[in-house]
């Protein structure tokens, strides 16, 4: 089954404790992206990747890091999480140029205390 998977689905952590949210896709897509979703603000793009070893900032990259060492994986790293990073996070992938027709993962709900 074609899908985007994220782990963990739920995470509660404390300020300053480094964490990684994994994202994997099995569709051989070149484009992958991370979003956060907050009430009233919709989805905001954090980082995106056009291919292996090629990443760029979205609208809200501060406090986040990404890497793309393999085509299928695109982990999101929070080196020192803060409470304002409490949010619902989505990973997405696309096989089309321009990032249209994105397939989304099920989401990761992160709470930073």
Partner 1 sequence: QKEVEQDPGPLSVPEGAIVSLNCTYSNSAFQYFMWYRQYSRKGPELLMYTYSSGNKEDGRFTAQVDKSSKYISLFIRDSQPSDSATYLCAMTGGGFKTIFGAGTRLFVKA
Contacting residues toward partner 1, per CB under 8 A: 4, 31, 33, 35, 40-45, 48, 50, 56, 58-59, 90, 92, 97-107
Q: How far is the CB of 42 from partner 1 (least distance, A)?
A: 4
The beta-strand segments (E) located in 42-99 are: 42-51, 54-57, 65-66, 76-78, 87-94
CA-nearest of 12, 6, 14 to 108 is 6
Residue closer to partner 1 (CB basis): 39 or 69: 39
Query: Shortest distance, CB of residue 100 to partner 1, whole angstroms?
Result: 5
Nearer of residues 2 and 16 to partner 1, judged by Cβ = 2
State the Cα–Cα distance between residues 49 and 99, nearest whole angstrom.
10
């Amino acid at each position: 089954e074609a899908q985007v998977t994220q782990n963990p689905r739920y995470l509660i952590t404390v300020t300053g404790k480094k964490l990684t949210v994994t994202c994997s896709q099995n569709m051989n897509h070149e484009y992958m992206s991370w979003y956060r979703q907050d009430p009233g603000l919709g989805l905001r793009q954090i980082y995106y990747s056009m291919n292996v070893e090629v990443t760029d900032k979205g609208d809200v990259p501060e406090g986040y890091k990404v890497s793309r060492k393999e085509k299928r994986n695109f982990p999101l790293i929070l080196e020192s999480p803060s409470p304002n990073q409490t949010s619902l996070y989505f990973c997405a992938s696309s096989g089309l140029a321009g990032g249209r027709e994105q397939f989304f993962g099920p989401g990761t709900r992160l709470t930073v205390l």
